[in-house]
Structure 1
Amino acid sequence: MTAAATDAGAELFARYAYAPNHLGYCGPPAGDVLRTGTAAQVRAAARRFSGAWPYLQVLSRMAGIDDPLDPRVVESYWFGGGVGERLDPRAFGAELLAVIGPQAGHYWSHLTADLLDEAAGNHAFHVLGVYPWTRLLGRGADEHPLHVLDSCRITWATVLALRGDEVDVRYRPLSLVGGALRLAEPVVTRIPAVVEGYAPAPGLRVDDAVALHWGRICGRLERSRLHELRASTVRQLERTNRRLLRVAARSERKGRVT
């Protein structure tokens, strides 16, 4: 984004939305805008993200903040905590479903009041609760949905080594154990730090904490953001696992009966 025309909320949204958008998974074709556009261009593109934009709208409205791209709103969406943490999660979920429910197709028939037990005003809820992928687990072919869930969530990692335009990082991937999602033991992987000349976190150093989205670095994580991201991820896993374990128990009972 052009430095002279940035605002903090638009810039933060662009960095974290860039990877899935560039890969064609999320939002309108806006990779160049997210990477080099003005704040006004990013703001216009953000309104066309059918996933993230409703969260930002509902968060800002319920928090009494006029701008959905206010930095406090954008931070709360990507990392958890912040203004979203002070809202009643079921009330937030009800308002969100009122926005996105009418737009949902048959793949989204799970967007009912039953989902309110998992609700939170952040991206972790969107990935683990709203997206259909957790509902594909436990059917005998878990590798692909687990990969999508792990890639789509915002992940914290530690830089171990710098290798030109790539870095080695250590992070804890998702695993499925006993029908529940867990954070596995740390693994090391090599990922790009620069993509087509775009470096969202220039000047990286060994031991930096960074955020990952779809295998790309989004930026460094300050201590407060790292804490909020960890806490919101663990909390969402606990909420979602209650559903997954209920479903697994019902399937087991049904299997014994038949």
Structure 2
Amino acid sequence: MTAGPLLFARYAFPPNERGLCGPDDHAALRDYATAGVTGPGLVRLATGFAGAWPYLELIASASKIEDALDPRVVEAYWVGNSLLDKVRMPAYGASLEERFRGRAGRGWEHIALAVSAGAVPHHSFHVFLVYPWAGLLRAGREEPSLQVLDSCRISWGRVITADPATGTVLVMRRPLCWDGRVLGYGPAVPHQAAAGFVTGLLPGDWVSMHWNCVCDRLSQRQLLALRQFTARHLRLVDAEYAA
């Protein structure tokens, strides 16, 4: 299993490189992930992700795991696993209220309702129900809202070809689509992504992607978990639209 800090770096680097989250030292995060080494510097960088880090602490605390960068905790947040359902609703709600109630304004009610309806501290919850893009989509601003939602979620696809010379991968992937009422998936289409820090990819491999960059090779267990937890939060956001 990939060391937790390195696994975190693989998922966090694509948006960090774009200046969307985390500390400004993109090069340091990239260098750690490229070299495949961990250290106190990488841990400090991880704690600078104000969006993700509190979720990791919450998941670790609920499972009595001392290290918020334990690989099981990191996997839970980005991909999903059984640790997520150990987080109790009162603790989750209190954490979110402290972080977002003052900033969310009227949107706080939707966040609170989602938690009571079964949301868990998975990245897809943050993308679909905390970020404003789903609300903007609902208000008729399809672009760039749909593109941002599709890029920021952790998506999955199956490798068709991988080209080490260019560092690119062609995958079959189902993009998000919006019909004016429901946010769901379109049919699978070929999609080109950067290989990121994952080497040795072969046709048939399942991979996770964040902001058009491959983050990890997925086992069948991980693939199922990512699909299930993403679907859980899509159902919640669609329930908001239906309302």
TM-score of the two chains, using structure 1 as the length reference: 0.84
SS of 1:137's partner is helix
Q: How many residues align?
A: 233
Using the TM superposition, give the Cα deviation of residue 109 of structure 1 relative to its aligned residue in structure 2, in angstroms: 4.4
Q: What's the offset of the Cα at 1:211? A: 0.7
SS at match of 1:191: strand
Residue number in structure 2 paired with 1:253: none
Aligned position for 2:113: 114
1:60–1:66 Cα contact (<8 Å) kept? yes
CA distance in 1, matches of 2:153, 2:5: 20
Asked whether 1:218 is paired with 2:220, we answer: no
Equivalent position of 1:250 in the other structure: none
| SS of match in other structure, 1:46 | helix
Structure 2 residue identity aligned to 1:79: V
Residues 35-69 of structure 1: per-residue CA shift (max 9 Å, x gap): 22343111101111110011011111222211111
Taking the aligned partners of 1:44 and 1:188, their CA distance within structure 2 comes to 37
CA–CA separation in structure 1 for the residues paired with 2:139 and 2:119 = 24
Counterpart secondary structure, 2:178: strand
SS at match of 1:207: coil
- Name the counterpart of 2:35: none
Which residue pairs with 2:197 in the alignment? 200
Instruction: State the distance in 1 between where 2:122 and 2:140 align.
Output: 29
Provide closer, same or farther for how the CA distance between residues 108 and 72 of structure 1 changes in structure 2, counting only shifts above 3 A: farther
The 1-side partners of 2:91 and 2:224 are apart by 22
- Code of the aligned partner of 2:186: A
**Contact 1:210-1:218 within 8 A present in 2 as well:** yes
Contact 1:118/1:125 (8 A) holds in 2 = no
Instruction: Specify whether residues 185 and 203 from structure 1 end up closer, same or farther in structure 2 by C-alpha distance, changes over 3 A only.
Output: same
**1:156 and 1:226 in contact (8 A); partners too:** yes
For 1:100, the equivalent position in structure 2 comes to: 99
Alpha-carbon deviation of 1:204?
1.1
Q: How does 1:10-25 map to 2 (within 5 A)?
A: 10-25=5-20
Shift of 1:7: 7.4
- Partner Cα separation in structure 1 for residue 18 and residue 100 of structure 2: 26
Match of 2:224 in 1: 227
Query: In structure 2, the residue corresponding to 1:25 is in which secondary structure?
Result: coil
RMSD: 2.0
> Is the counterpart of residue 244 in structure 1 residue 232 in structure 2?
no
Do the aligned residues in 2 keep the contact of 1:59 with 1:84 (CA within 8 Å)? Answer: yes
- Aligned pairs for 1:122-133 (under 5 A) are 122-133=122-133
Deviation, 1:99, is 3.5
Partner of 1:256: none
1:149 equivalent in alignment to 2:129? no
In 2, Cα distance between equivalents of 1:115 and 1:239: 6
Q: Measure, in 2, the Cα distance between the counterparts of 1:108 and 1:47.
A: 26
Structure 1 gaps, min length 5: 1-5, 194-198, 247-258
The equivalences for 1:47-196 within 5 A come to: 47-88=47-88, 90-101=89-100, 104-105=102-103, 109-112=106-109, 113-116=112-115, 117=117, 119-163=119-163, 164-165=165-166, 166-193=168-195
Instruction: Confirm or deny: 8 A CA contact 1:158 1:170 kept in the other structure.
Output: yes
Does the CA contact (< 8 Å) of 1:119 and 1:129 recur in 2? no
Residue 26 (1) aligns with residue 21 (2) = yes
The answer (yes or no) to whether the contact 1:93–1:119 under 8 Å persists in 2 is: no
Displacement of 1:30? 3.0
Distance 1:231 1:19, change over 3 A: same
SS in 1 for 2:67: coil
Contact 2:119 2:232 in 1 (8 A): no
Letter in structure 2 aligned against 1:15:
R
- CA contact under 8 A between 1:118 and 1:129: conserved in structure 2? no
TM, length-normalised to structure 2 = 0.89
Distance 1:140 1:109 in 2: 18
Tell me, in whole angstroms, the C-alpha distance in 2 between the residues paired with 1:167 and 1:71. 25
Asked if the contact 2:138–2:180 (Cα under 8 Å) also holds between the matched residues in 1, the reply is no
